[in-house]
Amino acid sequence: MLELLSEHACCGGMQRFYRHDSREIGLPMRFSVFIPGAPADANMPALFYLAGLTCTEETFMVKAGAQKAAAREGMILISPDTSPRGANVAGETEAWDFGVGAGFYVDATEAPWSRHYRMYSYILELRELVLQEFPVDAERIGIFGHSMGGHGALVLALRNPGLFRSVSAFAPIAAPTLCPWGKKAFGGYLGPDQDKWQQYDASMLMAGAHAPFPAGILIDQGLADKFLPDQLYPEVFEAACRTAGQPLELRRHAAYDHGYYFIASFVDEHLRFHGKTLNGG
């Protein structure tokens, strides 16, 4: 059952927050939706946003200021939470980069995480729910995200190019098998066998692909991002795209850091990028 928690008039449309019982997670999950003003019978393109470490379903909608651009593009925005809540797994709140707020968009295979921490499959479940409950065109759905969510967006798009027609990211964790965040998360959720990690590494997935997004992929990266040297590895993804023949626009911005001031500065351009593909322009 889909429960409306709150709604707010915004940019000529409605910003809403929902809760529902998730099949994949086995617990209630929250997500947010911005619906631009449009005729009731009009199916619109939709864009999923996956947030980063410590964030919730509210973070992007409150901080990024994307609703005005979404209204201009006639595009529904959907943002899920970043992990299960209330799983009561021992130790799940002890670290900011693992457990609550840090689901890493993988399906955990290691106990005790495997029961509820299934965020990869949850995003696909949420896509199904959105198609059932909102005026969304199934053929015009894109995905983007930030940091951990940028990693999730790239992986979900590369593994499901038939479900997501466009993809972009802000400062994604582009090669998680190489960085401390990824090694910690993958080791805890997926176990020590690093062969199992590769299915969630965007750079490895891209290296074995053949230009799955011919219209291109957009990534923005701040050069003052303190996580750039040790955690993000955009150059590894860039090299993988060259190998795959995948068009990539990797824009490096002096002075910008890892936070939402950075995202708010370029989110309009990401909405235009997705709109060009999803609206056929």
Q: How many CB atoms lie within 10 A of CB 251?
A: 11
Q: How many CB atoms lie within 10 A of CB 228?
A: 18
Return the axis-axis angle of helices 119-133 and 148-159, rounded to nearest 10°: 70
Paired residues of 82 in beta bridges = none
* 54's tokens: 């410590």
Q: Say whether 6 is catalytic.
A: no
Catalytic residue among 81, 146, 225, 270: 225
Q: How far apart are CA 202 and CA 52, in angstroms?
A: 16
Residue 259 host element (H or E): none
Q: Say whether 116 is catalytic.
A: no
Catalytic residue among 22, 79, 83, 147: 147
Pairing of strands 248-253, 76-80: unpaired
Q: Say whether 258 is catalytic.
A: yes
Q: How far apart are CA 221 and CA 34, in angstroms?
A: 26
Catalytic residue among 146, 151, 258, 270: 258
Pairing of strands 2-10, 13-21: antiparallel
Active site residues: 147, 225, 258
